[in-house]
Amino acid sequence: MASLRIEFHPSAVDEAEGALEWYAARSPAAAKAYLHELDHALSQIVEAPHRWPRYSQNVRRYQFRRFPFTLFYRATQDSVQVLAVAHQRRKPGYWRHR
């Protein structure tokens, strides 16, 4: 079976990069761990996109284990569309219009 393609909403890219920059400014080790957690989340989702709980009808969520972020995504037949890399304590649901 072919691997699913990962597509990021432009705002999700900004969110992921913003978090990485925030951690990097405070601790290179924390930034590295955050990036590892993001990579792990993506690999888990691509492996089994329907394993993670539904947030709404077509959107699922993956909560990071070590960092206060949730990755919201949609799975299609050939891709995973990352809608948001959302901080869990800021503006719930702000990304829903994506």
Cα–Cα distance measured from residue 34 to residue 1, given in angstroms and rounded to the nearest whole number: 29
Q: pLDDT digit of tens for each residue in the chain (98 aa)?
A: 458 899 999 999 999 999 999 999 999 999 999 999 999 999 999 999 999 999 988 999 999 999 999 999 999 999 999 999 999 988 877 777 78
Looking up tokens 């037949």, which residue turns up? 77
Where exactly are the structural domains of the chain? Answer: 5-87
According to CATH, the superfamily of the domain at 5-87 is RelE-like (3.30.2310.20)
Whole-model pTM above 0.85? yes
Q: Comparing C-alpha atoms, which of 53, 57, 58, 51 is closest to residue 70?
A: 53
- Round to whole Å and give the CA distance between 74 and 61: 9
Say if CB 75 and CB 50 are below 8 A apart.
Answer: yes
Structure-block tokens of residue 59: 């959107």
Q: Distance between CA atoms of 29 and 40, rounded to whole angstroms?
A: 16
